[in-house]
C-alpha cells in the first residue's frame, strides 16, 4: 500500500479525527441555520447577506462569537480533511466511478475549506463580500480571451451541482452515506434530508443560472453567489413565498447536518 493510503488509513482509524469531522457537520448545520434565518429576513423585507460571509458576520456578533468562529473554521477543516481521506481510500472497483467519487470528495473538501477560510477571516476581525468577489472574478475572467465562455461553463457546472442536490434529495441517495437508526427517528431524518437537499439544490442552481445569464449579457454584475441567488428568488412573482420555502428548507438542511454528525458512515 502506498504512503498516502497508509496515512489516510491511519487517519480514518483515528477516533479523534472522526470526532473532529463529526463536529464539522455540526458547525456546517449552524452555518446553514444562520443563512436560513437571513433568507427569511430577506423574504420579510428586512434584508441581509444570505451567504457564508453574512452568516459569519451574524455569528461574530453573538456572545462568544469569536470562539464559535474558530470552532467553525477548525471543524470544517477537519471535515475537509476527512473528504480528502475518503478520496484517497475510494474503493469502487469501477475505475471511472472511482475517479468520479474522488472528484466529488475533493470538490466537497474545497467548498468546506472555502467556508472555513471565511470563518477564519471573521474570527481574526476581518470581513468579506462574496458577491463582490464573485462579480470581480467574473469581470476579470470576461476580460480574457474566451472568458465569457468560461463564465458560462462555470455557471453550467454550478447549476449541475444544484441539480445533483435536488436529485440526491428526491432519490434519497444520501441514505447510503448514513447509518440510520431503526427507531422512530429514521423517517424524520430522511424527510429532513429530502427537503434540505432539494432546497439547497434550488438555491445553488439559481446561483449557477446567474453566471450563465452574466455570460450571455456580458454583464459581470449579474453573476453572484448564494446571496444573489436568494435575492433573485425574492424578486420573482410570489418571490417572498418562494424565498420563505427555500429559506425554511435550508434551515431543515441545517438540522439534517446535525443528524448527519451523529449518523454519518465513517
Q: What b/e sequence results for 240-254 when a residue is b if at least 16 CB atoms lie within 10 Å of its CB, and e otherwise?
A: bebbbbbbbbbbbbb
pLDDT band for 78, please (50, 70, 90 cuts): very high
Tell me: pLDDT of 192 over 80: yes
Query: Is the dihedral angle over the CA atoms 49, 52, 57, 62 positive or is it negative?
Result: positive
Which residue's entry shows cell 434530508? Answer: 193
Residue 185 has a CB neighbour count (10 Å cut-off) of 13
pLDDT band for 196, please (50, 70, 90 cuts): very high
Q: Calculate the average pLDDT of the chain.
A: 85
Tell me: pLDDT of 13 over 80: no
- Nearest of 27, 74, 41 to residue 227 by alpha carbon: 41
Q: Is 178 helix (H, G, I), strand (E, B) or coil?
A: strand
Most confident of 132-146, 214-228, 245-259: 245-259
Tell me the percentage of the chain whose pLDDT exceeds 70. 96
Tell me the percentage of the chain whose pLDDT exceeds 90. 31
pLDDT band for 195, please (50, 70, 90 cuts): very high
Are 106 and 91 spatial neighbours (Cβ–Cβ below 8 Å)?
A: no
State mean pLDDT over 42-61. 81
Within 13 Å, how many C-alpha atoms sit on residue 247's CB side? 26
74 is written with which cell numbers?
477548525
Tell me: pLDDT of 1 over 60: no
What pLDDT was estimated at residue 80? Answer: 93
What pLDDT was estimated at residue 169? Answer: 94
What pLDDT was estimated at residue 131? Answer: 66
More confident residue, 10 or 180: 180
Tell me: pLDDT of 202 over 80: yes
φ/ψ (deg, to 5) at 124:
-90, 5
What pLDDT was estimated at residue 51? Answer: 74
DSSP assignment of 191-237, as one string?
A: HHHHHHHHHHHHHHHHHHHHHHHHHHHT-GGG---HHHHHHHHHTST
Most confident of 92-101, 218-227, 239-248: 239-248
232/218 Cα distance (integer angstroms): 18
pTM for the model stands at 0.85
Residue 74 has a CB neighbour count (10 Å cut-off) of 18
Task: Render pLDDT for 141-167 as a digit per residue (tens, 0 to 9).
Answer: 788 887 788 888 888 998 999 999 999
State mean pLDDT over 125-149. 77
Amino acid at each position: 500500500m502506498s504512503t498516502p493510503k497508509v496515512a489516510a488509513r491511519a487517519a480514518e482509524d483515528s477516533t479523534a479525527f472522526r470526532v473532529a469531522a463529526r463536529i464539522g457537520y455540526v458547525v456546517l448545520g449552524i452555518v446553514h441555520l444562520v443563512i436560513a434565518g437571513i433568507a427569511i429576513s430577506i423574504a420579510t423585507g428586512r434584508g441581509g447577506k444570505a451567504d457564508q460571509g453574512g452568516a459569519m458576520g451574524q455569528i461574530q456578533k453573538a456572545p462568544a462569537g469569536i470562539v464559535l468562529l474558530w470552532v467553525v473554521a477548525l471543524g470544517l477543516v477537519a471535515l475537509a480533511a476527512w473528504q480528502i481521506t475518503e478520496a484517497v481510500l475510494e474503493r469502487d472497483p469501477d475505475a471511472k466511478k472511482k475517479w468520479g467519487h474522488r472528484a466529488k470528495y475533493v470538490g466537497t473538501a474545497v467548498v468546506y475549506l472555502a467556508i472555513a477560510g471565511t470563518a477564519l477571516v471573521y474570527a481574526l476581525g476581518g470581513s468579506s463580500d462574496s458577491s463582490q468577489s464573485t462579480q470581480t472574478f467574473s469581470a476579470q475572467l470576461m476580460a480574457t480571451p474566451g472568458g465569457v465562455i468560461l463564465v458560462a461553463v462555470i455557471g453550467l457546472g454550478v447549476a449541475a451541482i444544484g441539480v445533483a442536490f435536488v436529485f440526491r434529495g428526491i432519490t434519497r441517495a444520501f441514505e447510503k452515506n448514513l447509518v440510520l437508526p431503526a427507531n422512530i427517528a429514521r423517517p424524520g431524518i430522511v424527510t429532513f434530508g429530502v427537503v434540505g437537499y432539494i432546497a439547497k439544490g434550488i438555491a445553488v442552481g439559481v446561483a449557477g443560472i446567474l453566471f450563465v445569464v452574466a455570460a450571455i449579457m456580458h454583464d459581470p454584475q449579474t453573476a453572484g453567489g448564494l446571496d444573489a441567488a436568494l435575492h433573485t428568488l425574492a424578486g420573482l412573482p410570489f418571490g417572498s413565498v418562494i424565498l420563505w420555502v427555500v429559506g425554511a428548507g435550508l434551515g431543515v438542511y441545517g438540522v439534517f447536518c446535525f443528524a448527519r454528525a451523529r449518523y454519518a458512515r465513517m
